[in-house]
Structures are given as structure tokens and as C-alpha cells.
Structure 1
Amino acid sequence: MAIRRNTGFAAAFLTTLLISASSFFVNADRVDYPSAAYPPNSWINVPVFDFSFWDSAGIRPILITGTFVCGFHCSNLQGNCLFAISIFQINTFDANSNSSPSTKIVWSANRNNPVKFRASLQLSEEGDLMLQDLDGTLVWNTNTTGKFVSGLNLTEKGNLVLYGRNNEMVWQSFDHPTDTLVPGQALVSGQKLTASVSTTNSSAGLYSLALINDSLIAFLEPDAQQVYFGPLKVEAHESGQHKVVYMNGRFDRFVLSPASASQFIQLGSDGHLRAYQLKESKWEQVSDLLINYTGACGSPLVCGEYGVCSDGYCSCPKAESNAAVVYFRQVSENHPDLGCKETISVSCKPSDYHSHSLLELKDFDYFYFVPHIENANRQKCKEACLKNCSCKAAIHRQQINSSVGYCFLLSKIFSFKRNVDNLHDYNSFSYIKVQNPPIFRAYRPSKGHMKAILGSTLGPILFILLVVVGMFSLWRNKNDSKDDKKEPQKYGRLRFTRFSYDYLCSMTENFSVKLGEGGFGSVYYGSLPNSTKIAVKRLDGTDRVKKSFLAEVETLGSVHHINLVSLIGFCAEKSHPLLVYEYLQNGSLDGWIFSRNPVCTLSWKLREKIIHDVAKGLAYLHDGCDQKILHLDIKPQNILLDENFNARLADFGLSKLIDRDQNQVLTTMRGTPGYMAPEWSSATITEKVDVYSFGVVILEILCGRRNIDRSQPEEEMHLLRLFTRKVEEGKLLELVDKFSEDMQSNGAEVVKMMRIAAWCLQPDYNRRPSMSKVLLAFAGYSIVEDNLSYDFLNLQAPRAIATPSNRAGTTTLALPSMLSGPR
């Protein structure tokens, strides 16, 4: 049970335990638990082994209302407890039978961080609800200190609410859903359900269901572009806010049978969204909501990794041309849905590329598709995968009656599915990279002959090698000792956590989930033991990379702003320079504004918000620090988005710090072609080069296309030239993103923003505004200058730049969002 400690209202919440004379059991329906509590108050998670309903369910109640209970929920005798809300039915439990209590957790505060016995929940006098573990560690809180909270209430709908002095809502659990919705609960734009790892592990798993703008999508974490359901446009509400309300018997356009008993909707660990209802003391599935849209093979892991799904049945990929060679075997013969494993692991050494081949799966597709390469035939697609070490499979789609198509390169493989629904629209081929089995020569010399050959050939070679290796080891040890003495001085002053390479290998599962790649290396997804999600940037290269590494660590070590990415730590071991950032769920901006996937289309308000966020981050760098910080590589790939589409600047590897009284600085050319201001040709720059890049990014956001897009006709390839022409023709509205109806309907506001972009793009940097002035213009306190020049000359810096300017990755094959910075 949960022992409550109340300093002011103890008498109001004393519970009465009625003990039957004929039994040791405490019946749950005969205990009077409150539905509300008042600060200050606290409860301790103390187990009570009394064989009651709550004991059998592993629940230590704190508040109860109707069929909902709030309290500590423990899964074993060692603790492993959640502060949670569950739905229950008392009259379904018989203490004398072997039946299990019909309780189901519908919300939890600490799903990723279970607490132990004797953990405590506190409702402080200052208004904060806090969960602390046995050792006093703060595990979770509502962050409501100072908001004049007057009470805590569990409503009849199962919503845990902190309310203020006038009964206004200060905080509610409905705003922080986990994997379940109950009748009366809504999923609003920006919120998501995230499935548990499994039925026995409540930690956040792979699948999420989210409402983005006005559309419902289901996707695979950690990349919101890996969509396996949707986008499904939801019905509009009178309030104008986009939300999906779960009323008994209906979830937006999903119609369920009206429930006569308790019901809930849950996103399962297999990615299915199901409705459950209590029937005869058991929770039974009454509907699979997404199955009519996704089909039996639509879930990303329906047949596990490398699995092949056809009509709901799972198997392993087979080489039709050579059935004797077995490249994959099932993980479990009894459970084919657990996936397949390689019989020979694919190596990633350049010397082994010739030993790779591609196993073809005709008419097989993937649950999502991003066209990395356009106008590609199947041969070009296959060659791209074979040449790319990170590529594990390639998907080629080609419209019927077309000679070329689109190519999608995969760095991690889930389940393949037979293309049944779209056979009349396009042909689909999947190619899985496999390691060729070793081929042995027919001739084998006799043992005596072999010894003679080896003795006469290898003897002198081994002697020379030993001498060379010995001399190299002496030289290396000498230099390493010097470097080891320097390293503590170099990194000792940094305030970030220093990680070992082995530790980060473990946290990223040997760098298995690649988020993206750029000119300086690749970025991988990981998770720390406290469930903090991280993005690990693995730098590749020589002295230039070391300079970038130091520049990024030192810059982020001196600044802190909500619109700048947060650096958690780093690794500086030999040959392993790694940077560890907070993971931002929605990735880089380019994946949203350049994508033609309807689910990635951003509304005007979101685009405007992102532009404002970037401006705030730049204004802080230029005017809010002890020194001016010039970013020098502003582009969509270096703008990251969190789950609420708050934008943060990233990748400070090219940044430059200058004194506040210094107006100009002479430096080598750096940046990305297409975003570099004209004055770079003189190598004398100011912070206005960032303002110019910001202007380019504004136009890209508003127009939904790249500044330099070689897929466009020649006269429309360069966005700035096209912008100049449309200004002269008075047809700026034609530039607004044509793939977004919302952008088109807000054309007048978009054109106003284009004018600010033009202000930032003035060829004479003296006429460009400061970023602080741009913020004033957004707020209406500053007016854009008249007589702007639209003659945007020197559209990109000279191509002879030999510095990290080629980091843009315009020819590099990468994952959905290429980036040169962290994700």
C-alpha cells in the first residue's frame, strides 16, 4: 500500500480497512480511498502482502475515482514500480480463485525509469508533484512549482489533474499520453502515443502514433519520416485546433462498437492500434484500427529484421537464381515472425566490396520510401548500394511504362512486404546486400610441397615485417606519450561529460542506427542508461576534423540557449573523436521542407515559428554572448527540430569567435556553396554572412525547394535568380510551396516574409539588418527598408574552395535527411 504523510489534512483522508472475520483478505471495494489530495502531502511505496485485490494486482492505491486508480504499480517482488493510472473492475476478482485482477495501466509518469519499494511521491507546498526513488533521486516531476496549485484530483475520465486556486487546470496527465487513450481523451497536434517495448517491458519502444498538423500518422522511432500508416486527415473541430477525440465507440473516422463496459485504445508493441473491452473478466481485443489501411504486412517488423511478408506469412529472403546458397536463416523456426539472420555477416571493408552481391526480391516493397536517387534505372540503383558501405539494401520503384525510376538506400533493414496493392501503378524491386560465400581452389598442393613454398617465401618477409613493426611501435609509443601529456590540458577545462569509446559503442549498439551523414562523418542514434536519447556524431578525417571537433566543443561549452542544440559530452580517444548531443526527434529541417511525402508538409504557422526560432538562435550568437559567434554554415541540414518542431541550430564545426569590438575578420573560406554571401570572395567577413545564409534558408522554407535544384529546368535551377524574376513580374505567389494548401491560403503573409528574406540577402552587407533587427521586424517594431536590391549577384562562392565547403553532400548518397551536423 502507499503510506500517506499529510501535515495539514490527515484527518480528511484516513482510510478505513474493513477486515472480514472469516478471511485475511482485504476487499478493494470495501476500502475508502480518496479521489483528491491537497498540498503538502506525500506517500511512500510500501508493499503489503495481504492477498487483497490490490496486492494481487501489484497496486498501492493513492487516489481512486470510479473505475480508475492512481498509485504505485509494481511488477515484481523486487520493486520495479511505476507511478501510474490504471483502469480496473473490482467485481471480476475472486481472491479464492486463480484468476488475475482485471487492471490495465493507461498512463504512467516514469515508464522509462521504474522506482523501488519505499520510493515516495510528494505534492509540495510550492505546487510541484514529484516522484523520488528510494535513494532520493528525482525521477519525475510536473514542473509546476510556483503555479499556486491547490489540489490534486483523479477525474472520472481517468485524468490526473493539478488545479489552481480558482479550480483552473494547471497540469493534467491527458497532456502527456504514453501508449493508451481512454474514452473522453483527445490526441492534439504535437502529441503522440509511443508503444511499449513489449508486454512485459513498459519502456518506450519503436512505434509511435502522432497527430502532425491535421493528419494522423504512425511511424517508427526515432525518425518521424519512417511512416507506415497515414497521413490520414482528421476532422476539423469548432475550436480550430486539430485533435482526435476518443469518444466511446468512435476515434475520429474509426468507428467501434459501443462499449457496455470499460474500454481503451492502445498502441501495441507490434505497432498495431487496437481497441480493448472488458468481457467476462478479461480484456479482449474488439478492433484493429489500422489493419484496413496497412494490410497484414504493413507493420515495419511484422516479420522481424530481414523477414519477408507475403499475405501475412513470414519467411526469409531466398536467392531464386541459386537455391543451393542459403544467405538467411530464421531466428526461430517456431516463431517465423521474429525475423531472419545472415548466415555470413556482410563486411564493410573496402577490400571486401568485390565479395558483395545483391539478392533480388521481385515485386517486394518496403513500408516507407524516400527517393534518394531520382531518374535511376535498376542497375544504377544496385551500383549505388554496392559502392556505399552503409547501404544494406536498395529499393527501386519504377512507374509502369517508364524507363527510369527512384532509388531508396537502406542502412537498417526491417521487414519486406509483397507489393500487391500498387502493381498497376509501379514495379518494385528490393535488393539485399549479401556476402558471397568463400570459393576454394580445386588444386591443393601436398603438405611437403606447401612447407617448402612457405619456408622459402615467408621467412624473409616475416623477418622484415618484424623489424618494421618494432621500429614503428617504438616511434608510436614515444609520440603517444607526448600526446597523452597534452590531452588533459586540452580537454580538462571542458564542462561536458567525457565518454569512453567502448561506452558509446554500447549505448549505440555498435553504431547500428544511422540517422544521417555529411562531409565530416556520420550521426548515430543511442540511448543512455537513464533512457536519455542521444545522437552521436562520429567524425572521420584528419587535422581538419580535429579542428572542427575542438571548435564545436569549445563553442557549445560557452553558450546556452533554447534555440541551440545541447552538447551532452564527447569522446577524445585516439582515432575516435565523437560528439554526443541530445536527440531531437524530428531530425533536420531539410527532411521536412524538401520532402514530397505529404506527411512531411509543414503548415504556414509551423514554418513561421521555425524561421523565428532560427532568428532567435542567431541573434543570441551575434549579440548575446561575451564574444560574437559566427556560425558560418547556416542551412536546413544544420537546423534540427524537436518533437514540438522547436528549431535549434546545430553543427558549430566551422564557427568563428571574434571580439565584440571587432567589426570584421579575415578568415579562410568556409561554408556550403549556395548559402555563402558574396563577400566571401574577399575573405573579409562579418556576422552578416550568417544573415545572408538565413535569408536563403527563409526562401527555401517558404518555397519548399532547394536554393540550387538541378532537377529543375535550367531557367529555374537557381532559386535566387528565380526570385529576382518573379519580383520583376509581380508574381511572387507563384514561388510559394505548391505542395501545401495551407501555404497557398496564407500567400499574403508568406510574401511579407519573402520581403524580410530579400532584406537579409542584400548584396551589400552594410544594407543587411542585424539579427536583432530582424526579430524586431517580426514583432512589428521595425520596418523593412525601402528600395531593396533584388539583383542577387554571385549566387554561390567559387567552386575552387578547398575547405569544408563540400560538406553539403550534394552528391553523397545518404539517408532521408543528409546532414553535416548532429541529429
Structure 2
Amino acid sequence: MYSLDAAGGWAVTWAAVKQPCSVHGLCGKNAVCEYQPSLRCSCVPGYEMVDRRDWRKGCNPTFSLPAANCSASSEKRFTFVKVASTDFYGYDVGYNSSVTFEYCKSLCLSMCSCAAFAYKKDGTGQCYPKGVLFNGYTSPTAPGNIYLKVPSDLNAEAPPPSMALDCTLNGSDAAIDPPTYVDTYGALRSGPNLSYLFWFAAVLGFLELLFAATAWWFMSGQESMPSSLEAGYRLVMGTQFRRFTYRELKKVTGDFNEVLGRGGSGVVYRGVLDKTTVVAVKELTNVLQGEEEFWAEMTVFGRINHINLVRIWGFCSEGKHKLLVYEYVENGSLDRHLFGEDNSKALAWRERFKIALGAAKGLAYLHHECLEWVIHCDVKPENILLTRDLDPKIADFGLSKLSRRKAVGDGVQLSQMRGTTGYMAPEWVLGLPIDAKVDVYSYGIVLLEILMGSRITEQRTVDGKERLQMSQIVQALEQVVASGDVVSLVDSRLNGQFNPRQAMEMLKISLSCIMEERSSRPAMDDIFKALIACDDEDEHPAYLL
């Protein structure tokens, strides 16, 4: 909002966003936003402005990084420039906790896609390699420093170019200065045009009275939660992300009375919005982030929308209370249908293939299509929910960023990891950096269980005395592929009613997913393409052997 000052010039007296640096992409790529005291954008060392008239175009590097052989003599060819009290939110190409600074540095050196890394020296040893330098900001309260990857021979000591972001109207400068918005109201005094001041004061006074009356009415009606909250619930019906109060969710769930399920990340309760809409309310445990970081993660979750992902409708963050509100998925989790004892309710082959295809599609979206790269870290049948039509929806994605982890030497304590025994990739145990291939491994196990109708961890020797090790299972599966006889492997409850070509393709994909060397595992989008290639849904055949 602008108003005339005493000299007849325009001044900013109010703004909807009081911290413009939090606006996505305000300063463009490879640039940081800061207040000095007015809003200012500047290129990071080693970069230069693309267009001085438009900061949204960001900065370009004055050097080039090779696209291959990044690990060869990287320490000699590259160095890191420290930019203190600075961070770039999002676009991480990995995440590691409880690691040393030198380990984080060497990790970035070995990654072709790593342009910089953020490291928090607060005792947690959190390392964030960055693939893209976007949403940069500098602040004395920033949790750590950013270290830019540049060639060793680059002179990055010169001060980076910068420019204040000012608004100019009719030739008069009106600098946007977020820390002094309140003070600017006091700058309004008599000037050459008093009518503007009069009308501005009148409108402002009316808005203040309206706000006070609305606040009083809202607070007075909190006990009964009448129609004032129903409007908020209708926003959820319009798929708009919103924040709930703990008091609201306590009433919605009937004081957290009906438990739908329990897991490593928290307890899920049944709730009802607007007297008709059933929701699932998850009370999170072991949340590491503070209020501001938790809000930032929620803004990312709120933008994720895919037919094969459980939709998050909102959240609550009040002190120790951290809760998520999900859409309710009618048919429960896959494990109840896949491992149930009632043979008459066993999933048909067409339904199994549809579930495998949909789960792959959802994970491919998280890995390759999201604005920010998301790793699930706990893919298992319990986290694949089924709709009324048995379409799959993946739940609990993104919660790995909110989980508390504890250090054990150079690794991570397994009881605090995002993972379940039997579905965890070898990287977890070996303490290696975690990437999307851990989800690929877990998906491979789930795919095998869909095929076989039983848990991999329950496979036993012929005499039934000992459980098979993973290496023994892989060896047996390879023999099935070599012989081409997949009949003995498919769930016997199907009574031979399945598609042999699809079953063999699922088996081959599973074997490629559970390779011990993660570089040998396929990407989720390749898995989805392989499955869709053998989907003969258009023909609708009778799946008979």
C-alpha cells in the first residue's frame, strides 16, 4: 500500500509480505536476498548478473563445471568459497546427518550435480548438497553457512554485484524496507494534498475496527465451534491447504478417540470435518524441526498433488503438538488385502498389477516431477493405501525430513531411521549417503510381495525350519527367471488366474530393484515405463494361464 508523504512523494506504508526474501525466486537463480536495511539482491561469489534490469533472471557462473569425471582429482581442480550466515532453501540432491564437515565437503566434490553444500555446525552435523542455487537468503539468524563449489583458479574474493530492489512511481523512489513498516505510518503528516491523508486514515480506521470486531466474534465462538469454522472446513473441500489449531483437531477426532493405525512416525486417528467429511489425523512424534522449518516443509507438502499420493489437507503446529490432516482412504492399507487369511478376499491379478503400476507412478512423481526432490524412505505395503476402487495411494511421503535421528559413530541409529526391517536398502546399514535408490529397493520388495502374496521376511527353506536370507531369495528368483517357470512363484490363491508375461516382467523388475549395488538399480520413472509397456488394459483380457 502506498501513500503520499509531506513532500508529495509516494511511500510504502503497508505490504502483504513483510519478509519479501521468503518469496520463491525473488532474486532469481544463484543470487541471495538480504536486508541492508532495505531489500537487496546480490550474486554469490563467482557469478554475475544476467540482466541488471530484472533480478528474477538471477546470475550466471563465470566458470563451467565438467559434466563427467567429477571425482577425478576433484580436490585439486575445485575449492569451496564460504558464504557465512547464508542458505538456499530446497533443491537438495541428498541429505545426511551426523557427518563431519570434511565428509560433507568430499561428498559434494564427488557429485557432478553438486553446486554447493550447506552444513550446520550446531552439533547435528546436517549436510545438504545443493543441485540448484535457488531461494537464497542471508540473515544473522541463518542456521549455517553455504559453501560454493568453484574452480581452484577462480578469483572469488571480489565483492559480488548487488542491487537494491526499489519501487519507483512517477519518478519518486519508494524503497521497500520491511523492518520499518510500522515506523512508516508515523511519517504521515500534513502535506500539499491533505485529502489523500484524510481518506487513507479513514479507510485504515475502518479496517482496524472491522478486524477487532471479527477477532472478538471469532474468540467468543470458540467453545461451540459454530459456522465460523465451517467456512475453513469448506476450504479443505476445495483442496486448499490450511492450518488447523490443536483445539480444532481435538474436537474433530473426538479427543483422539478412534485409532486407525500406529507407526514409527506417529499415531493416526479418525476425524470428521463438517459433520460429513472423514479425514485421517496423524500426530507426529520425534519431530526435529523448529516452528519456522516445520512451516516451510508444510508449504512443500501442500503443493504436492498426485492421484497416487495421499493428499495432505492441512497441518497443526502448536508447541510440542505437530499433526497432519490427510484425506481418508476407504479400503485401508495394502498389507491387509495382500496378507489376509481369507482366501475369498485375495486380490485378483488385475488389481495387483494396477496397484504395482500406480505405486510406481506415485514414487516416480516424488523422485522426478516434484518442485523439490522427495525421498519416501519407508515404502512398504502398510504405507500404500487403497481407495474404494482399489487404486493405490502412497502415504507418509516426506516425513523423513521431520524425523529425529541419532548419531552412532559415522552412521545413524537404526531405531530412529525412516525404514522398516525387510524393506530397508543396504545403504542404511552401511551408513552410506541416502538417495532415491533406497525407495527403489523397497519398491522391489513390495513388488515381489504383490506377486507372491506373502512377506519376503517370512520365506523359509523347504523343510520350513529356517528363514531364507536375502541372498538365498535372490538366487532362487534368478533360477525362476532362467527357467521361465513363474507359475510356482505366483500367489497360489489366484488358482492360475494371472498374466504370465506381466508376472515375469514384475519379477525381473524386482530383481533389478533389489541389487546390492545401488548404481545398478533402475530409476522409478524407468520402472513405471517398463510396467506400462506390458499393461494390456485396453484389451481387457481374461488373465488365464
Query: TM class, shorter-chain normalised?
Result: 0.3 to 0.5
Superposition TM-score, scaled by structure 2 size? 0.46
The structure with higher relative contact order (CA 8 Å, sep 6+) is: 2
Instruction: Determine which structure has the larger strand proportion and give its number.
Output: 1
Instruction: Determine which structure has the larger helix proportion and give its number.
Output: 2
